[in-house]
Structure 1
Amino acid sequence: MSFENRVAWITGASSGIGAALARELASRGAHVVLSGRDEARLAAVAEGLATESLCLPFDVRDDDAMAAATRAAIDWRGGVDIAVANAGVSQRGAARKTEMHVYREIVAIDLVQQIAFAQGLVPHMADRGSGRLVFISSIAGKVGVPMRTAYCAAKFGLVGYADALRAELSQSGVEVHVVAPGSVATDVSRNALTADGSRRGKSDPAIDNGIPPDEAAREMVDAIALNQREIIVARGMEEALGKLRQTPDQVFDQVAAMVAGGYMEKMEAEG
């Protein structure tokens, strides 16, 4: 597909993978909507883009602000063609020491509010008969990783939601992509929540030596252009683990065939 003159909306766009995706999509001619909590950092990303952009700062936990941003993003140039659910927070803490409020916060940010973001756009895209929903999960959304029980729960859940949504939308013209990055050189580890909910404040060697964000973004956008439904962007052992747990395309096709055969209509008729 061509990204020329498409509108791409990215959450978590002030740094890291989100900012890199904004740069990559803009370099391919997309008009980019940038969202995140820090307006100044969003503006700095916008200044470096090759095409027209719009900054819509909000906290994904604020449903009213998200709804207002959704209306603004749709109205900006007549619709949203690509939506990237990228906002999130990671974790570094053993399960036996992690307080429940940390689980609730991570699952809310990384799963529930990513679903809310998508749900605000599903009717818009389905009514238009086109669009792409992109969910940034993680290798930790395919393989359980120690010290990240809340993060894994949320990222696994995001994959499940996206897979079910893809099947439901398979006859609508709307495509759904799941991206599972491994270690990418961002501040994800520094910003991770510890067992008591405080910010970790330091990075990991695996993250510091990870894939450069611009390289990761280029791989992601290349795969989206090829209409790949589950996209692994990782190296070494992380790549091997991700591909070991990667869902075969035949499974996606089989579930989509159920929808094409009237599965949803039958279920709805049965109440």
Structure 2
Amino acid sequence: MPMLALPFPTIDPVLIEIGPFALRWYALSYIVGILLAWRYMRAAATNDRLWGTAPRPSPADIDDFVMWGTIGIVVGGRLGYVLFYNPAYYLAHPLEAFAVWTGGMSFHGGFAGTVIAMVLFTRARRFPVWTLFDLAGIAAPIGLFFGRLANFINGELWGRITDVPWGVVFPTGGPEPRHPSQLYEAALEGVLLFFVLRLLSHRFGLLCRPAFLAGAFAFGYGVTRSVSELFRMPDAHIGFFAGGLTMGIVLSVPMILAGLAAMLWAWRRSDAR
């Protein structure tokens, strides 16, 4: 082990185990992320200063949506991982596709699943679907932050080999120190993106322009994820694409383009009123 490398901290991936019941850090990260995101969305929806005359969901609407959103995240995230990252394995072991507690979730799949859940949920509600997209967008970095911390605790999705003094030797990553790319993603996709979106929503009042903040989230996530991919090691069974691209970058490009389009559309639409 190089002198400057940091050993991987000894953290049991199982937080509590009582008989057959085991609560893993991975599952806990989803629970905490969803609960905090729910409370944040609720607080934003009840802040009159942020909305002006724009229609918005009631606190009860936010409460009702939590279950819809959770199903969209879990089902979409798992299905995305199965289809995008390891289809051959799960085709040979189909029952393991349901073992979400073992890890293996795709953000891009979870994003798609949540979008579908929001569209279905708002069909019978009295506010635009874009408004729910905006609220979910400003809260999503909370869940991303906790999810990436759980990836680090699980010792998965580690980075490329490095000689930086904070390189970490992961138990399953060989003897070489690697970038703790999970922590980079927690900082970029979680902390940085959260504060940028909070500035846009609370300081500049952009919740009054439906679709802008949803676009800002999609764009911001796509950019920060692409930056993180420069340090993250792609899945061994996928590897690099032409030009050094990774699956994470390939899936993020449409989000960047869609985010830009949504922000431009929201700005022009609001100015045209």
Coarse TM-score class (shorter-chain normalised) = 0.3 to 0.5
| Structure showing the higher helix proportion among its residues | 2
Question: Which of the two has higher C-alpha Rg?
Answer: 2
Greater relative CO (CA pairs within 8 A, separation 6+): 2
